[in-house]
Amino acid sequence: MTPSLESSVAQVERFVETYRRPDGRRWTGADLAKVTGGVVHRSYVTNLRKGRIESPGYEKLAAMAKAMGFPPELWFEEVEDLDSAIQVEKTGDHPSFSDRVNELFETMTDETTGKPYTNTEVARMSLGDLTEEEVEGIRDGSIPNPPVDKVVALASVFGVLSSYFLDKGKRPPLIDREVLEIFRDETATAIAHKSFHLPDHEKQMILNIIQQFEQMHAADDQDDAP
C-alpha cells in the first residue's frame, strides 16, 4: 500500500487506538514528542491526524512507530490483524535510509548495459517523481528524511517493496541479489510476513513443504534430462 493523505490519517487513528501506552492511554502529540526526543513535534502529530500533511517524512513515521511499538513497515502494508504484529526492537544500530538506497545502487545493475545505475538514470526512470539532485541528496545523506512519495518512487524504480527501506532490525551492510529478488516478489514477501508470527515448529512444517516441492522439481528435471 502507498500511504496517501487519506490512508495516513486513517492509519494514525488506527495505530493510536491499537498500540496504546503501557498505562492503557492513547498516545498524544505531547507523549510522542517526548519519547521521540523531539523528532516528532506535538504540532506535527496534530497536523498529521487532521490530514494537513500530504506526504509524511520517512524519519518521522519510523520514529512514531518505534515509540508506539509497531513495525515501521506497517505504514506501507495492509495488515488485517494489527494485534498480531511484532513489537519493534528499540535498541541496536541499523542502516540509515541512505545506506539502504546505496545498497540498491551497489547491488542492482542495468540489465541492458550490465552497469550500475546512475543518479541521472534513476531520476529519469522515476518519470518526474525524483530529480537528479534529490537522488544525490538521498544517497549522500543530505536529505535524510525524504517524503513518502519519494520513498515510493525509489521503490518503484528498483522494483522493491517500499517496506525495504524501513527499519526491520539489524542487517549486514550489504545484501545480495537473491535477497533483493525476494523483495521484488510480493507472494514471497507475504509468505515471509505471515510465517514470521507462527511458532517455530509450524515454520519448520512450512519449510519442509517447500523442500518437498524442491525435491519434486529436481526429480522432474532428472526425468526430462536426455
CATH code for residues 97-184 = 1.10.260.40
Can you give the pLDDT of all 226 residues of the chain as single tens digits? 444 444 567 778 888 888 888 788 888 999 999 988 888 889 988 888 888 887 777 778 888 888 888 777 677 654 433 343 333 333 344 577 888 899 889 888 877 788 889 999 999 998 888 999 999 999 999 988 788 788 888 888 887 777 777 654 444 334 455 555 665 566 776 777 677 678 888 888 988 898 898 888 877 766 665 6
150 with 130: CB under 8 angstroms?
Answer: yes
Give the whole-angstrom CA distance, residue 72 versus residue 64. Answer: 8
Pick among 3.30.590.20, 3.40.50.300, 1.10.357.10, 1.10.260.40: CATH of 5-84: 1.10.260.40
Which residues lie closer than 8 Å to 22 by C-beta, 6 or more apart? Answer: none
pTM (2 d.p.):
0.47
Reported as half-sphere exposure (CB side, CA atoms, 13 A), residue 141 has a value of 3
